[in-house]
Amino acid sequence: MPLSNSDQRNRNFRFRLGVATVLMLLAILAVVLRIMDLEILHYSKFRTLAYDNHVALVPVAPPRGLVLAEHGEVLAENQPTYALEITPDQVPHLQETLQRLQQMLDLSADDMRRFQDLRQGKPDFDPVVLKANLTSTQIATVAVRALDLPGVRVVALLHRYYPYDALFSHVVGYVGPVTAADLKNFHARNYVGRNYIGKSGLERYYERQIRGTMGYRIKDIDARGLQVGTLREVPAQPGDNLLTHLRLRVQQAGAEALQKDKGYRGAIVALDPDNGAVLAMVTSPSFNANWFVDGISKTHWQSLLDNPERPLMNRADNGLYPPGSCAKPFYSIEAIQEGIITPDFHTFCAGNYQLGGHTYWDWNRAGFGNTGLTKALAWSVDVFYYKLAVKMGIAMQDKTLWRFGFGKAPPIDLPGGANGLVPTPAWKRKHLHAHWYTGDSVILGIGQGYLLETPLQLARAVAALANGGYLVQPQVAKALINQSTGQTKAIPHAQPVNLHISVTAMHAVHKGMEACVTIGTCHTISIPGITIAGKTGTAQVPVGYKNGRTIYNNDSLFIGWAPVHHPKIAVAVVVEYGGHNAWQALPVARAVIKAYLQPDEKTPEKVAEKPAAHYDAPLAIGEKGSVNPRPAYPMTP
């Protein structure tokens, strides 16, 4: 029976009502599910987002620990200053803002380049310094336009400063802006909001101890991003102060002595022979560490790179030099220890030594006649050590050098450090594709040939002679001082290595090195009231070419300690191209020893203007065969 129009309308109505009801129920279900998602499943996430909508978490960098000399002089400090910071993710149009700030504040291209470099590897929520050390005019210029510069603010911060400029640059080091490369070795979380990180020297080695612990401040902000209050603050913990063994007066005396008259290149290392404490570490020339704090300018950087004196090089522990006659005391120790010679051994020393058709000249071509160990050390008799080298042989020579710490970088609380080179027959075959000859040993016997050492290695080795045969571990830092509590935590010294040197061998070499100062080649280092033992060294290095021949110059070296029987300081000095018979190294070493043992007297003394009379005999070029640690440049005829 067909439906009536009324029934059809009712049926259609019920159908539409059912569909509407289902849709409404589905909509209600969707709303309920969404509410559950927001209020239950993702409650913490959206609560944080809502909270962050009116608060800002601001990291607070701690004050960096100071670096102090042993008597409390500040070598690295923090000075209050103002800087312009930009938080990139808070700046709507970053490039436009940067251009505007550059015009407003007259910023240089170096400022803009540094800002872009500092952004690399940092999250956009981390503020980046655009300009440090703002002037009062620049601060006022930014302040009056603060509302138009979102994400840009002037902040007060502590700026790293080195009061002695270049004097301690290589040993204390310097800080610089944090880069992505730095964060490969340090956790990025610890450097959010920080401006600096240690780049070299003690600043780098003790970075974790002196950087401090980050704090933070939770600020209440309004819709325009301006602070209206502080909700919570966790203060930053300042880094520990680093107390060192360095003596300011000794460092100054050494640096001034090197810079007298000609301004020599070279290095000085002074150690306490008992424990290896570094009393001074001088490299000349040096550089101003303050240039690097905010990122070095292109002009300054290029001036350092173009400087032929290479001021960036730490010559004290990276400069490689033939030790020359400074190696002779160590061969003497080993020769007596192994029974090759006795302390009273004598041999006739003419002005040269003949071997296989070659002539090896003594520095004094007139010769020294009958010579024993004391005379050989006092007057640095080359022929004595040519003969001794042949008696010892290369195996024992190498054993001697390794025993006293040559050929490997000394363990010290500074980054880097060169190994030097102790040549062996295997090394020569591998690198020069040649056999080792007796003549190579002869040259090695006077500290030349392929042998290369650092001033730090020489200072460590002579300290072992001074203290009776113990190889100490050099250490610059003395203690960490907590800035909050004032508590001092000493940094312990490593136990020295006992070289087991016999009293007989040690006494014989001490006698010769003391005679070197009283009557021999070191006599100009003498200081009234102080007994000194020492050894001069002269090392030939090629410096260029002329008329098809190699032109040589001489590095001046000195190693020694004082007082002789109760040693308090061991010193190694290298003066590049300082002249024959170490006449330029001696007054430098004298100034350092005097500054340490007689601090109340005026130092340093003037460097000698000419060598002593008995230094006049020229050093023979012939068969010295030295290897140059520095490049040789052609010389015009």
Query: For 38-65, what is the mean pLDDT?
Result: 68
Q: Return the residue matching tokens 């990276």.
A: 318
Query: For 549-553, what is the mean pLDDT?
Result: 74
Cα→Cα distances 54→150, 192, 222, 224, 231, Å: 16, 21, 6, 10, 11
Whether the per-residue pLDDT at 609 is higher than 90: the answer is no
355 vs 195: which has the higher pLDDT:
355
CA distance linking residue 137 with residue 111, whole number of Å: 17
Q: List the single range of 53-67, 263-277, 411-425, 562-576 with lowest mean pLDDT.
A: 53-67
pLDDT in tens, 405-456: 999 999 999 998 999 999 999 999 999 999 999 999 999 999 999 999 999 9
pLDDT value, residue 52: 52
Whether the per-residue pLDDT at 577 is higher than 70: the answer is yes
What mean pLDDT, rounded, does the chain reach?
Answer: 84
pLDDT value, residue 4: 66
pLDDT value, residue 114: 77
CA-based R_g, the chain, Å: 35
pLDDT value, residue 619: 32
CA distance linking residue 252 with residue 364, whole number of Å: 35
Helix/strand/coil (H/E/C) assignment for every residue in 461-473 = HHHHHHCCCEECC
Whether the per-residue pLDDT at 632 is higher than 80: the answer is no
Whether the per-residue pLDDT at 627 is higher than 60: the answer is no
166: closest CA among 263, 72, 235, 232? 263
Whether the per-residue pLDDT at 210 is higher than 60: the answer is yes
pLDDT value, residue 102: 80
371 vs 34: which has the higher pLDDT:
371
Q: 331: exposed, middle or buried (C-beta count within 10 Å: 0-12, 13-18, 19+)?
A: buried
pLDDT value, residue 491: 95
Q: List the single range of 313-322, 409-418, 502-511, 616-625 with lowest mean pLDDT.
A: 616-625
Confidence of residue 225 (pLDDT cuts 50, 70, 90): low
CA distance linking residue 606 with residue 586, whole number of Å: 11
270: closest CA among 288, 293, 252, 294? 252
CA distance linking residue 595 with residue 178, whole number of Å: 38
pLDDT in tens, 533-549: 999 999 887 767 777 77
Residue 398 token pair: 């190498």
DSSP state letter for 514: H
Whether the per-residue pLDDT at 386 is higher than 60: the answer is yes
pLDDT value, residue 221: 60
Q: Are 422 and 409 in contact (CB under 8 A)?
A: no
Query: For 600-628, what is the mean pLDDT?
Result: 37
Confidence of residue 625 (pLDDT cuts 50, 70, 90): very low
Q: For a pLDDT cut of 90, what percent of the chain falls above it?
A: 54
Query: For 122-135, what is the mean pLDDT?
Result: 77
Query: For 495-513, what is the mean pLDDT?
Result: 96
Cα→Cα distances 434→67, 227, 430, 440, Å: 50, 75, 8, 11
Query: For 575-584, what is the mean pLDDT?
Result: 75
pLDDT value, residue 606: 38
pLDDT value, residue 468: 93
506 vs 87: which has the higher pLDDT:
506
Q: List the single range of 29-38, 457-466, 618-627 with lowest mean pLDDT.
A: 618-627
pLDDT value, residue 478: 96
Instruction: Point out the residues that are catalytic.
Output: 325
Whether the per-residue pLDDT at 617 is higher than 50: the answer is no
pLDDT value, residue 580: 62
- Whether the ω angle into residue 629 lies within 30 degrees of 0, i.e. cis, is no
Q: For the chain, give percent helix, strand, coil, nearest 5.
A: 40, 25, 40
157: closest CA among 262, 58, 288, 22? 58
**Chain centroid to CA 27:** 70
Q: Which distant-in-sequence residues (6+ apart) come within 8 Å of 136 by Cβ?
A: none
pLDDT in tens, 178-209: 887 877 888 777 777 677 899 999 999 999 99
